């Protein structure tokens, strides 16, 4: 399972190049026309967004403002990328709100690490988690699927939150138990019971919780 990354760049060759560089870890959705940002936000729930700084129809800084103000933006980290390494460009990018500025000369292994680290940091700190048509809000303690609020227990909310923060990676049953119950003695089958009780409450979600041997993970449903 891969993280989803939306990449805006007016150069199709750049989109193809980074799509190949990142294909092992990311599903890259490329767009060469910044004006289509609303369409992409409606169709995808990204884990990160990369914006080319210099684009003719709408530059990266203007695009950042429009994405950040859009009701479908899920708060995921936004990066700027450019071959322009002037101090002015870097400072303006950070002032706009970017979590990082990426040089086009960056090595592929460093690029992947910086993307992954920022995504994981966002997932750990976020009080609202979005995936597909689900929103889990730890401030209001509400789970929403589509436009309907679903009733789940606090324990089920904690289980779901851990799995969402780990997505697209799996969590072992042992680690899930430790994160919820600490050092208490809890049987491995306890997790199965809670997930079995949770499943009917989230059946309208376009993803599902799966248990594979000792691994617990989230997968997108195939319709």
For residue range 37-80, what is the model confidence (pLDDT) as tens digits?
A: 999 988 888 889 999 999 998 999 999 999 988 877 878 899 99
The pLDDT > 90 percentage for the chain reads: 63
Greater confidence (9 vs 141) lies with: 9
Say how far apart CA 71 and CA 62 lie, in whole Å.
16
What is the four-CA torsion angle of 55, 66, 107, 94, rounded to 10 degrees? 110
pLDDT of 13 > 90? The answer is: yes
Range list for CATH 1.10.10.10 in the chain: 129-220
CA distance to 158, 176, 177, 212, per residue, from 186 (Å): 16, 11, 7, 19
* CATH tag for 3-125 (out of 3.20.20.70, 3.40.190.10, 3.90.1200.10, 3.40.50.2300): 3.40.50.2300
Contact criterion met (CB below 8 Å) for 204 and 146: yes
- How confident is the model at residue 134, as a pLDDT? 93
Contacts of 157 (CB under 8 A, 6+ apart): 136, 138, 141, 143
- For the chain, give the longest Cα–Cα distance: 60
Higher pLDDT, 33 or 181: 33
- In the chain, CATH 3.40.50.2300 sits at 3-125
Q: What is the pLDDT of residue 65?
A: 92
Task: Given CATH 1.10.10.10, say whether it is the number of domain 129-220.
Answer: yes
Q: Considering the entire predicted model, what is its pTM? A: 0.67
């Amino acid at each position: 399972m891969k993280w989803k990354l939306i990449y805006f760049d007016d150069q199709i060759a750049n989109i193809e190049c980074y799509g190949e560089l990142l294909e092992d870890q990311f599903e890259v959705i490329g767009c060469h026309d910044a004006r289509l940002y609303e369409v992409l936000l409606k169709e995808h729930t990204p884990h990160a967004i990369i914006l080319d700084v210099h684009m003719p129809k709408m530059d990266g800084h203007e695009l950042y403002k429009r994405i950040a103000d859009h009701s479908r933006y899920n708060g995921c980290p936004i990066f700027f990328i450019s071959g322009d390494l002037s101090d002015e460009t870097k400072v303006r990018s950070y002032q706009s709100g970017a979590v990082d500025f990426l040089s086009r000369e960056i090595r592929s292994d460093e690029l992947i690490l910086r993307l992954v680290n920022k995504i994981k940091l966002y997932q750990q700190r976020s009080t609202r988690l979005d995936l597909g048509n689900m929103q889990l809000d730890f401030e209001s303690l509400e789970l929403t699927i589509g436009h309907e609020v679903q009733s789940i227990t606090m324990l089920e909310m904690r289980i779901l939150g851990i799995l969402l923060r780990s997505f697209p990676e799996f969590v072992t049953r042992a680690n899930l138990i430790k994160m919820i119950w600490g050092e208490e003695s809890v049987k491995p089958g306890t997790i199965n019971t809670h997930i079995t009780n949770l499943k009917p409450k989230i059946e309208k979600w376009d993803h599902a919780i799966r248990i594979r041997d000792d691994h617990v993970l989230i997968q997108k449903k195939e319709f």
